[in-house]
Amino acid sequence: MPRISVVDAGGQNICAMLDCIAWSEIGPDILADPVSDDGYKVLVGSRPAQVLTFSSYADHPHALVQAGSLESSAAGRYQILYRDWPYYRGLLQLPDFGPLAQDRYAIRQLLERGALSLIMAGMFDMAIARISNIWASLAGSRWGQHTNSMDALRKAFTDAGGVIT
């Protein structure tokens, strides 16, 4: 579950989409592992048998991790890249890299891609098409990494309480 309240997020569908993105990016086994703090402490390259985490929410960990053939600074529940963090931290006046800040960052990404209103309206497939350029694990992503099917994403969304129209 995201740490932001349903009201502050903009509705249950937004919270369900945050859960869906985390499920897709991190996976259910890592999300369920207490060491991950619901995914908020996860570094890229984590596997269920070896969850890589950072120790402080004071700021983005800026840890460059070799993950297969990829080198990435992705961290947190929404696998936020360090290159993007300083700008959004300032824009949103985020005090740290804690769970609420990560949730607010992800919601801002949904807004900027024109997906927020689609998610609120239950237009799930259209919303995924708008945000698959940010999150590499989403169906339709062109990042060349493993992607989850639309059926699996829809199930993760509805399992989290989302409603598709």
Q: Which residues are catalytic?
A: 25
Cα dihedral 128, 57, 94, 117, rounded to 10, equals 20
The continuous run of DSSP H or E covering 67 comes out as strand 65-67
Q: Is the dihedral of CA 146, 52, 36, 73 positive or negative?
A: negative
Distance CA 51, CA 74 (A): 14
Q: How far is CA 123 from the centre of its chain?
A: 19
**Residue 118 phi/psi, 5° resolution?**
-65, -40
Phi-psi region of 8 (alpha: psi -120 to 50; beta: other; left: phi over 0): alpha
Q: Is the separation of the CB atoms in 29 and 48 below 8 Å?
A: yes
